[in-house]
Amino acid sequence: MKVGRGSIEGNIREEANCLRSRIAENNGRPFDFAHDVTVAVANVICSMAFGRRYGYGDETFRELSEALATVVLEIGTGRIIYAFPLLQVIPFVNRPAMNAREEYSKVVSVIRDEISRHREHLDRENPRDFLDFCLLELEQQEKVEGLTEENVLYMAADLFIAGTETTANTLLWSLLYMTLNPDIQNKVHEELDAVVGKSPPALSHRSQLPCVNTCLMETMRIRTLLQL
Domains of the chain: 9-222 (1.10.630.10)
- Burial letters for 94-121: b for 16+ Cβ neighbours within 10 Å, e otherwise? eebbebbeebbebbbebbeebbeebeee
Confidence at residue 193, expressed as pLDDT on a 0 to 100 scale:
95
- Give the residues of the chain that fall short of pLDDT 70: 1-6, 73-97, 225-228
> What are the pLDDT digits (tens) for 92-123?
556 666 777 787 888 888 889 999 999 999 98
Q: What is the pTM of this model?
A: 0.80
Sequence-distant (6+) residues with CB within 8 A of 24 are none
Confidence at residue 205, expressed as pLDDT on a 0 to 100 scale:
92
Rounded (to 5) percent helix, strand, coil in the chain: 75, 0, 25
Sequence-distant (6+) residues with CB within 8 A of 168 are 34, 37, 38, 40, 41, 42
Confidence at residue 203, expressed as pLDDT on a 0 to 100 scale:
87
Confidence at residue 144, expressed as pLDDT on a 0 to 100 scale:
78
Confidence at residue 91, expressed as pLDDT on a 0 to 100 scale:
63
What torsion do the CA atoms of 101, 104, 109, 114 make, to the nearest 10 degrees? -150
Q: What values do phi and psi take at 30, rounded to 5?
A: -65, 140
> What are the pLDDT digits (tens) for 5-32?
567 888 898 899 999 999 999 888 988 8
94 alpha carbon, distance to own chain's centre: 27
Percent of the chain residues topping a pLDDT of 90 = 36
Q: How far apart are the first and last CA of the chain?
A: 25
Give Cα separations from 66 to 34, 60, 69, 70, 183 (angstroms). Answer: 12, 10, 5, 6, 34
